[in-house]
Structure 1
Amino acid sequence: MSTPDLIEPEDGNKDDNLGLYRRATQNGAEWWRVSVGDRPETYRLEHATDDDENGAGSVDIDLVVDAENLRAKLKKWRREGFALERDAPEATDTPTRIAFMPELQRASARMLAAKLRDAGNADAGLGSPADDASAASVRIGNVDVRCGSAHPLVPRVNPAYLFPARFNDIVADIVENRRVMLIGHTGAGKTSLIEQVAARSQHGVLRSNMNGQTTVGDFVGFWTVKGGETLWVDGVLPTAMREGLWLIVDEIDFAEPSILAALTAVLEPQGRLVLKEKGNEIVAPHPAFRLFATANAVGAMSQFRHLYQGANLMNEAFLDRWRVYLLDYLLPAEETDVLIRTLAPHMTRPLATTLAAIAADCRAAFAREDLSSAFSTRRLLDWAELMLRTGDPERAAGPAIYAKVSPEDAALIRGIIRHHIAPAA
């Protein structure tokens, strides 16, 4: 794993473009401030105008650009007479604001180096017994994931699945045994992301869907009578904890309060489950146990709660026990690659590009609430596969799309398709 390039302070700056660009005006001064953006290879630009009467003005432009756009801005500023002032006394907060990101980059690099050393020690037999349970690991994105043992519940690997760089933090959280909640629209790939990480690292997966019919007994366990003998049956939670499986609680925003109460006890990385119905038996988590949740209308997705009838509000205390990631649909370029990789060698790039654009337009219509049904990558792949078999997009769309949605949605989707594809002669 390579250490990211650092933004060094002024005495060893690898990026001489950071700083304050100022030019004099008739009434005062105008300036642009350049600092490191929150995302890799991006820069934050802030603009303000100071006047002689009122002094420092407030920032009226605040945007993030990539390196190419920054170069274009710098050329424009030079033509307009802006000059770089690294330590401008008029802007007293500038050095602090600029210095924060380089300092953070150095701290992040030190933390990464420490983790690499710890991983090396574990591989050399210097780690804890839990760390040494399995020496094999697999690289997923830019993260090394320790492999589990063969298990019947290990998902099947999808060789066409993509792991964009934005998934690296999620995979790192899995390695660190964080509780991960993925939120997003139906069909955005929340569950499949976890399953594909598990498939490549050979970890078994249990899923529990909170569909309104799932009881706390199904989740935690219950007593039953078999052959005249009273037996305890573990639910999915203690089963996963004992066997070191990965448990996905799907649609957690539809779960009953009693299930959430049982779940809260194990949200800490080493949290234990107390089976009160079984004489307060304590279930300790296996080192390989991981806990995940998916939701459609939580946090940043709360604005869409009306699209997911029956979803419950979740309080901040509960959400604060999770790392919550918002997953959107694949970008058109990414979905194009998935289509080609899944249906090679028959799917060509021009065909895949058009199909991905259709899916993007359908999702935009769903976001505007013009469509009442989402358009998942799974649906797109099914349509594309049937289209290759029949040679007719409209005929393939019947069982793959139209029959699954309302007549109104089908008419709108048909219009989007025909916008991109001329009807067959």
Structure 2
Amino acid sequence: MTAPELTEDENLGLYQRATENGAEWWRVTVADRPENYRLEHGIDTASGRGSVDIDLVVDAENLRAKLKKWRREGFAIDADNLESEPDAAAGRIAFMPELQRVAAQASAAKRKHEQKQTEAHHGIVRIGFLDVPCGEDGPLVPRVNPAYLFSPRFNDIVEDIVENRRVMLIGHTGAGKTSLIEQVAARSRHGVLRSNMNGQTTVGDFVGFWTVKGGETLWVDGVLPTAMREGLWLIVDEIDFAEPSILAALTAVLEPHGRLVLKEKGNEIVAPHPSFRLFATANAVGAMSQFRHLYQGANLMNDAFLDRWRVYLLDYLTPAEEADVLLRTLAPNMTRPLATTLAAIAADCRAAFAREDLSSAFSTRRLLDWAELMMRSGDPERAAGPAIYAKVSPEDAALIRGIIRHHIAPAGSE
């Protein structure tokens, strides 16, 4: 089979990539001889456009080889700027080095500012690559899970927490959305309140209500003003199931220093404590909207509301990460081969859930429970009864049993 002919218009142009030293480019033009091409090479630096340091003529076959090599090396074509705007092209290709320089400066300035802020604080704790200011111990501080794995992909979320951004975590059930926030709070000693939007939660539960006690009418704060006054971290779980009245109350405090007006209490204004943080979790919002049919009752959320949050999509741990969690949680008895196999089973179950072959998700919590029972009994099938099968439909149990047996031979088999 002969190689396809090169189309002149498709391959002429400026091929560019950003490097540490500047913008490297190859220019492809038509040579004097038929079916030949002129290749010019240069590197632009911050001081200006570089001169041509390589100038050669190649035939069509050699150009094909060059194009493949350039694609592997990260060059991209910019045919529109072959002759007309070389300086503009150089400016675009130099964007990333400039951005990295500015980001490094901003990061250094931020660290200096945070250091001054924490000098008078209760202390700091290192989480990921960030120093997180600590709060005061109290009954609402979650327990530290020493086996919890802080993946590098969580660093941006932790930084947003330090900066007092409103953070929404989206993802499938059991992906670890709530546990991430709780483990940051546990290590930095901040109390946490959780409000689950289960369809039964009223705006009174969330904001507050009047009640009569001992013949006296009293106001009872809901979870939102309680967290704001006391400097607690509030997690609104499954916010995509919340009533519109609750979302309306939340909107007032979505800005970092937003205040809550208690209209039912004579328009009392509740200002947020400096330690107050607001989080939300959701299963079927934004990038997860395609799975809304798996979460019956989930509500649509408009862009104006979502734009007030930093929204992060949390996927399940990778098999390698989950194997590490198993090893750390069940040490010293868990071994690497066992952990790797169990993590592979969980990954296959989640793939089946994504294909809608399974109607229930497979969380890391469920995997750990199964592994713990398995190590106690020495029997994967027996341990799977209370840890997995009894929690799902008979159809799901049969499919999960098949996945398990694909990885683990049944007891007594050769």
Give the TM-score of the pair, scaled to structure 1: 0.80
Deviation, structure 1 residue 117: 1.5
Return closer, same or farther for 1:179/1:204 CA change in 2, 3 Å cut-off: same
Return closer, same or farther for 1:18/1:330 CA change in 2, 3 Å cut-off: farther
Aligned length: 363
1:217 lines up with 2:204 in the alignment:
yes
Deviation, structure 1 residue 399: 0.8
Query: 1:150-189 CA deviation, whole Å, 9 max, x = no partner?
Result: 1110000000001111100000000000000000000000
How do residues 61-76 of structure 1 correspond to structure 2 at under 5 angstroms?
73-74=72-73
Deviation, structure 1 residue 294: 0.2
**Larger Rg belongs to:** 2
Return closer, same or farther for 1:28/1:349 CA change in 2, 3 Å cut-off: same
User: Any conservation in 2 of the 1:20–1:94 contact (CA below 8 Å)?
Assistant: no
1:98 lines up with 2:93 in the alignment:
yes
Counterpart in the other structure of 2:379: 392
User: Any conservation in 2 of the 1:20–1:88 contact (CA below 8 Å)?
Assistant: no
Deviation, structure 1 residue 295: 0.2
User: Any conservation in 1 of the 2:168–2:279 contact (CA below 8 Å)?
Assistant: yes
Counterpart in the other structure of 2:161: 174
1:139 lines up with 2:126 in the alignment:
yes
Query: 1:215-257 CA deviation, whole Å, 9 max, x = no partner?
Result: 0000000000111111100000000000000000000000000
Counterpart in the other structure of 2:309: 322
Deviation, structure 1 residue 31: 11
Hey, what's the Cα distance between the residues in 2 that align with 1:423 and 1:16?
59
Of residues 104, 107, 128 in structure 1, which corresponds to 2:102?
A: 107
Two-structure CA RMSD over aligned residues (Å): 2.8
1:252 lines up with 2:243 in the alignment:
no
Gaps of 5+ in 1: 1-12, 35-59, 62-69, 78-86, 125-131
Of residues 253, 276, 294 in structure 2, which corresponds to 1:266?
A: 253
Q: Which amino acid aligns with 2:104?
A: A
Hey, what's the Cα distance between the residues in 2 that align with 1:357 and 1:123?
43
Hey, what's the Cα distance between the residues in 2 that align with 1:31 and 1:367?
49
Task: Tell me the percent identity.
Answer: 79
User: Any conservation in 1 of the 2:236–2:279 contact (CA below 8 Å)?
Assistant: yes
Return closer, same or farther for 1:316/1:107 CA change in 2, 3 Å cut-off: same
Of residues 25, 36, 39 in structure 2, which corresponds to 1:20?
A: 25
User: Any conservation in 2 of the 1:254–1:310 contact (CA below 8 Å)?
Assistant: yes
Counterpart in the other structure of 1:279: 266
Query: 1:269-326 CA deviation, whole Å, 9 max, x = no partner?
Result: 1110011111111100000000000000000000000000000000000000000000
1:382 lines up with 2:377 in the alignment:
no
Of residues 388, 404, 407 in structure 2, which corresponds to 1:417?
A: 404
Counterpart in the other structure of 1:42: none
Hey, what's the Cα distance between the residues in 1 that align with 2:185 and 2:40?
50
Counterpart in the other structure of 1:44: none
1:357 lines up with 2:354 in the alignment:
no
Deviation, structure 1 residue 94: 3.9
Deviation, structure 1 residue 119: 2.2
Give the TM-score of the pair, scaled to structure 2: 0.82
Return closer, same or farther for 1:177/1:304 CA change in 2, 3 Å cut-off: same
User: Any conservation in 1 of the 2:283–2:295 contact (CA below 8 Å)?
Assistant: yes
How do residues 230-245 of structure 1 correspond to structure 2 at under 5 angstroms?
230-245=217-232
| 2:334 counterpart SS class | coil
Deviation, structure 1 residue 95: 1.7
Hey, what's the Cα distance between the residues in 2 that align with 1:363 and 1:29?
52
| 2:94 counterpart SS class | helix
Deviation, structure 1 residue 116: 1.6
User: Any conservation in 2 of the 1:241–1:284 contact (CA below 8 Å)?
Assistant: yes
Gaps of 5+ in 2: 1-17, 44-66, 76-80
